[in-house]
Chain A
């Protein structure tokens, strides 16, 4: 069953703690993306990767880090430097010239 899987669905972070959000796809897509969604602000790009072992910062990369060691995987780490991490995080992947496919999202809450 092809698709893009994000885990966990819900995540709670304590102040000062790093957490990692998982994103895996079996669609053989080269490009993968992380977006952050806040109410009334739409989707804002955090990081993206067009090929394995390469990634670029998006509009709001501060306080986040990523890796792309495998084509299938693009994990996002929310570091303690991110001062307002509570949000809904969406991962997407796409093939060249095609539409993007999205995962079901991870809701991160700081407690």
Chain B
């Protein structure tokens, strides 16, 4: 069975500062990892994914994430936060050995970037 933990319900950061949103996962097979962002009353937008290859993955809007197998983590990062980055962020995982099985999501972390 798969699971995802996002240990922080809320992250506050000043505009221009680096941001990190944490995610740890548990999966029995090969981890496929994803980050999505949600703005109010909207669907989820894909940011980036790790399937295989380089542990540092670059995605949309300047975001990146680092896959750490030993720590089973996939933290989302951005070097310089913008007010417009304020949103709800979800980490998700699925077993890469199991076809089109559904993503399992964390509970989300609300990011607030303060001007």
Contacts and interface: CB of A to CB of B under 8 A. Distances in A.
A80 B74 CA distance: 40
A49 to B, nearest CB: 9
B106 A96 contact: no
A31 B100 contact: yes
A85 interface: no
B31 interface: no
* Chain B interface residue bracket vs A: 20 to 34
A102 B44 contact: yes
A45 B43 CA distance: 15
A100 B90 contact: no
B103 A97 contact: no
Interface in B88-115: 90, 99-100, 102-108
Contacts of A102: 36, 43-45
* Chain A interface residue bracket vs B: 20 to 34
Q: Which of A40, A96, A100, A102 has the most CB of B within 10 A?
A: A100
Contacts of B14: none
B38 to A, nearest CB: 8
Interface of B: 9, 34, 36, 41-46, 49, 51, 90, 99-100, 102-108
Closest A-B pairs by Cβ, 4 of them = A102-B43, A42-B107, A31-B100, A43-B105
22 contacts: A6-B43, A30-B100, A33-B103, A42-B105, A42-B106, A42-B108, A43-B90, A43-B105, A58-B102, A90-B43, A92-B44, A96-B99, A96-B100, A99-B46, A99-B49, A100-B46, A101-B46, A102-B36, A104-B42, A105-B41, A105-B42, A107-B41
